[in-house]
Structure 1
Amino acid sequence: MSARLRISRTHYPVHALGPGNRLVVWVQGCTLACKGCMSRDTWPAEGGTEVPVGDLVELWRSAVERGADGLTVSGGEPLQQPEGLAAFLTAADEVRRGADRELDFLVYTGYDEAELDRSHWDAVVHADVVVFGRFDVTEPTDLVWRGSANQRMTPRSDLGRRRYADLVDHAPERGPLQVEVRGGDPWIIGTPRVGALRDLDRSMRGLGLRVTDVTWRP
């Protein structure tokens, strides 16, 4: 498989970006540059690593064998690499067709539906659910798996409608977050609610931990 995708990182299992345990692929590169974005490190197009789509498919196959419930693609901006994304989801769909259970695909994009062209729609044809809309720091929300109230979780398949029917308007008491450590640095996975990152920053300082750099500030 010759197609490639520039990614920031991958992780399995993730339980903070969709239902169940999921493989998450964060793509690299985003020109939307939403104010307050917690993942500024994924903005530069020259960052990350360009990898063959076949390698990502093997990660997905491994996650399925280990019990994954689904696949989430975030970023960065996935739809700024529509050809690579289309190739990845098409091949990942072939893998899930051989699974013994239903597996869903969730894709995040900062674009609105009206901004998408044919290549973008082709890229998400296998997505069961798409979260549309730019992150807007002035519109906080308690809705699960969304960073701001303007973002819309849109089921696009029968599986998506069944699995996410009770989740589109779900606002849990606490937003799901996951903390991992990679290369000695803590890494937050999920969509923090307003003030959560500031509180985390203060808590770490209160514990005597020196915070020298974070991805949500320039």
Structure 2
Amino acid sequence: MTTHLSVARTLDRCTVLGPATRAVIWVQGCPLRCQGCVAAETLPFEGGTSRSVAELADWLCRLDGIEGVTFSGGEPFSQAGALAELLDAVRERRPDFGAMAYSGFRHEALRRGDPDRLALLERLDLLVDGPYRAPLHGSLRWRGSENQRLIPLTDRYTRALAEPDTTAGIELSVDADGSLSWAGVPPTPGFREGLEKQLAARGFVLHTEARRER
């Protein structure tokens, strides 16, 4: 039986959600409801697109010039078993493939979790943990609020983590249908609302599959 993931969005190349240039997979569904979430459309477990692990592994292995993949959402650890399986499938062909994930849960809680969550943790190089807290919003690297931590799970990204802890910025892209999508962690609160208002006044439509602040 083929394992599937419920996926909200994928991105071939991104430089603002982890070290170097990497692909991103946003999963669909999250049990948490962080106030200030900028991608509320990824919270319901209904919706998304069903993608097989084999299909996603083929996609990642075909991409040139990427260092690894970042899992965001939604809540990646709600689909931990399938994501662990995905990393195994990719690393059979690309052994030196990096992996990073976001989670609204604390690392300590994930370590007390079920076998699937432990399996994903064992395959990650870097974890950003903790829920997004709007009162603690900061201009931080790869995360939205000061309570969130960058937790190295291997020594792969030691050099990257030694760089200044400041925002990596936002990347915008115009899709084939003329709509706009973005990736990254907003350096200021209220980013999405302000951007949508300004773009709407100019006739642009912002895709709703955006990275959520955790």
- TM-score interval w.r.t. the shorter chain? 0.7 to 0.9
Q: Evaluate the alpha carbon distance shift between residue 212 and residue 203 of structure 1 in structure 2; reply closer, same or farther with a 3 A threshold.
A: closer
Tell me which amino acid in the other structure corresponds to 2:149: R
Instruction: Give TM-score scaled by structure 1 length.
Output: 0.84
Q: Evaluate the alpha carbon distance shift between residue 188 and residue 204 of structure 1 in structure 2; reply closer, same or farther with a 3 A threshold.
A: same
- 1:23-172 aligned within 5 A: 23-63=23-63, 66-97=64-95, 102-116=96-110, 117-119=113-115, 120-160=117-157, 162-167=158-163, 170-172=165-167
- CA–CA distance in structure 1, aligned partners of residues 94 and 208 of structure 2: 36
- Sequence identity of aligned pairs in percent? 31
Deviation at 1:93, TM superposition (A): 2.5
- CA–CA distance in structure 1, aligned partners of residues 159 and 99 of structure 2: 11
1:180 and 2:165 aligned: no
What SS does structure 2 have at the residue aligned with 1:138?
A: helix
- CA–CA distance in structure 1, aligned partners of residues 62 and 37 of structure 2: 31
- CA–CA distance in structure 2, aligned partners of residues 143 and 29 of structure 1: 25
- CA–CA distance in structure 2, aligned partners of residues 35 and 92 of structure 1: 35
Moved over 4 A (4+): 210-216
1:204 and 2:199 aligned: yes
Query: Are 1:27 and 1:77, in contact at CA under 8 Å, matched by a contact in 2?
Result: yes
Q: Evaluate the alpha carbon distance shift between residue 36 and residue 109 of structure 1 in structure 2; reply closer, same or farther with a 3 A threshold.
A: same
- CA–CA distance in structure 1, aligned partners of residues 205 and 55 of structure 2: 34
- CA–CA distance in structure 2, aligned partners of residues 130 and 202 of structure 1: 33
What corresponds to 2:187 in structure 1?
A: 193
Instruction: Give TM-score scaled by structure 2 length.
Output: 0.86
Is there any run of 5+ residues in structure 2 with no aligned partner, and where? none
- CA–CA distance in structure 2, aligned partners of residues 186 and 213 of structure 1: 6
- 1:7-22 aligned within 5 A: 7-22=7-22
Is there any run of 5+ residues in structure 1 with no aligned partner, and where? none
